[in-house]
Amino acid sequence: MTVTTPALDPRTTALLVMDYQPAILASLPESADPEALLSRVAGAIADMRAHGAAIAYVRVGFTEADWAAIPPANKTFSFIGRQRLMHHEDPVTAFHDQLAPEPGDITVRKTRYGALSTTDLDRRLRDRGITTLVIAGITTSGVVLSTVIDAADRDYQLYILSDGVTDPDPQAHHTLMTSVLPRLAHIIDTAELRSFLHETATSRA
């Protein structure tokens, strides 16, 4: 059975640009081609802006209080807390210069994997009438997987940019993108996103 990807209305859509921070980009292997990745996501941001869609930036960063509040039971984040990693004022946790937010964009700081779980992002999206999310982020097995599962449970329509997400583990990335995430979201690339936006604009003309 052929599944048709539904039309995308930029008036009710937000592009989530998640964890595009120098510290996280540095974890990627050279084979991931971070510069090409940044260029593609910058293009997607420009396309979405041009059609009036919202842009939401998500980054991970911790205060001293955040570190102290992480319980030992949290396997990943207790290590971050003990090592005092990813301080929110450290330049390596800032949004990457090539993808810098502009006035009017949504920006949030999180302290766990998911973009929605430790932030007010869901409320801010709802306040703007957003019902559809386009996902770009690092890493596929971290922020992307966690955010997509959470957002699907909140009934957002979801698209994942296949060339706007990546992971240090190519096998994990492949498995998630081919077997897990397609159950929850429509998988498109940045060229298809541009085409969808153009079709919507043409249909309104």
Mean pLDDT of 17-28: 96
SS (H, E, C) 113-164: CCCCCCCCHHHHHHHCCCCEEEEEEECHHHHHHHHHHHHHHCCCEEEEEEEE
pLDDT in tens, 107-135: 999 999 999 999 999 999 999 999 999 99
- Residue 91's contacts (CB-CB under 8 Å, 6 or more residues apart) are 22
Q: What is the pTM of this model?
A: 0.95
